[in-house]
Amino acid sequence: MVVAVKIALILGSVYLVMGMIFAIFFLSRGIEKMDTAAHGSGFGFRMIILPGTIALWPVLLKKWMNIKKIRHDKTAS
């Protein structure tokens, strides 16, 4: 039980650290590319979505990658 909880804690911590690293790039560059309504949004808005970005980073990463891919395909064609 103790080992299982310790493993879960380590995995959870790694997940959150990855989320923090992702959030730096996403909130500074990715967000405006992914969501046009975020153009020109302020610091306050970014701080409000920061905890969610850290918690749900795989969802945003997937969406960001999809948009990059769509743009790349459009440019190629």
Partner 1 sequence: MSAGYTAVGWNRQKKLYDWFIFGFCVLYLISFILVTACINPDYTFETVLIRSTSTLAVLLLHVILSIGPLARMNKKFLPLLYNRRHLGVTMFCIAAVHGVFSIIQFHALGHVNPFVSLFTSNTNFFSLSGFPFQSLGFFALIIFFLMAVTSHDFWLHNLSPKVWKTLHMFVYLAYCLIVMHVMLGVIQYETHPVFVLLIAAGSLWLISLHLIVGRREIKKDNEKFGLANEGFVAVCDAGEFEEGRAKIFCIDEERIAVYKHENKLYAIHNVCKHQGGPLGEGKIIDGCITCPWHGYQYLPNNGQSPPPFTEKVSTYDVRVEDMKVWVNPKPFAEGTERPGAVIN
Query: Do 19 and 53 form a contact (C-beta atoms < 8 A)?
Result: yes
Q: Which of residues 45, 65, 66, 72 is near partner 1 by CB under 8 A? A: 45
| 68 contact partners, CB below 8 Å, separation of at least 6 | 33
Structure tokens at 9: 């804690």
Q: Does 59 engage in binding with partner 1 (CB under 8 A)?
A: yes
Per-residue contact string for residues 11-40; x = within reach of partner 1 by CB under 8 A: -----------------------xx-xxxx
Considering the complex, what minimum distance in angstroms separates the CB of residue 77 from partner 1?
25
